[in-house]
A and B are shown apart, each in its own frame.
Chain A
Amino acid sequence: MGWLFVALAAVFEFIGVIGLNKYSKRKTIPTGFMFLGGFGLSFVFLYSSFQYLQVSTAYAVWIGIGTAGAVLLNMIFFGESKSLARIGSLALIIVGVIGLKALS
């Protein structure tokens, strides 16, 4: 049950990130709704997962999937740079975020 909530939280985080990209380019009510609604629901599901899982574990998985997903989605759908230096730096951040959250 807890992992289902984490999965839902990650999916809504992706929606929030896509909304963030779209909203920053065109500030309309639908894009703003996607941006804030995505992140809002993501937090709600993450918070719900805390009832079943350890906070640090749920947090680490959520933020790791979310950050990696944000990067990949933007590379695939919005044509962001796929340079090796960028991918390497992002990998460091993702590993660091997951590791630090898992320990906290």
Chain B
Amino acid sequence: MKKAWLYVAATSFFELVWIFGFNVASVWWHWIPIVLFIFVDFHFLSKACETLPTGTVYAIFAAIGTVGTALMDVFFFDQTLSGGKIFFIVLLVAGVIGLKLADGHDEKIAAEGNR
């Protein structure tokens, strides 16, 4: 269970690495590590889905990618963080936390049912 969330963290981290790569790639060979990172990323994505619901994992994967790119734009590529963006980031973070709590709760019920 703990391990599955580590896989979610890994897939989200590697996702941000390759998205960053997309933004900074300038020479052809830059795409070699980027493609490599995509494969590593998708490996962890499938590992996470072995124990957690795919819908949950994919929504979190999309959420972190979205928040990550928005923050990357601000910190690395000189974009502004508007009030609207902050609002949606807060919404996303709330959704991810809620989902983690909800699935944890469902799992507990399932575990008790199996006893």
Partner-B contacts on A (CB < 8 A): 17, 20-21, 23-25, 27, 35-36, 39, 63, 66-67, 70-75, 78, 80-81, 83, 85-86, 88-97, 99-101, 103-104
Q: Are B98 and A103 in contact (CB under 8 A)?
A: no
Partner-A contacts on B (CB < 8 A): 42, 45-50, 53-56, 58-60, 62-63, 66-67, 69-70, 73, 79, 82, 84-85, 87-89, 91-92, 94-99, 101-103, 105-106
Q: In the bound complex, what is the Cα–Cα distance between A9 and B54 (angstroms)?
A: 19
Number of interchain pairs (Cβ within 8 Å): 130
Q: List 8 A-B contacts (CB under 8 A).
A: A20-B49, A75-B55, A81-B103, A83-B102, A89-B95, A89-B97, A97-B66, A104-B79
| Closest chain A residue, CB of each to CB of B54 | A21
Main secondary structure of the interface of A (DSSP, over half): helix
Given contacts A83-B102, A104-B69, contact A96 B63 (CB under 8 A): yes
Given contacts A17-B58, A67-B58, A70-B54, contact A93 B92 (CB under 8 A): yes
Chain B's nearest CB lies how many Å from the CB of A2? 20
For B102, give its contact among A23, A85, A95, A99 (CB under 8 Å): A85
Q: Are A97 and B62 in contact (CB under 8 A)?
A: yes
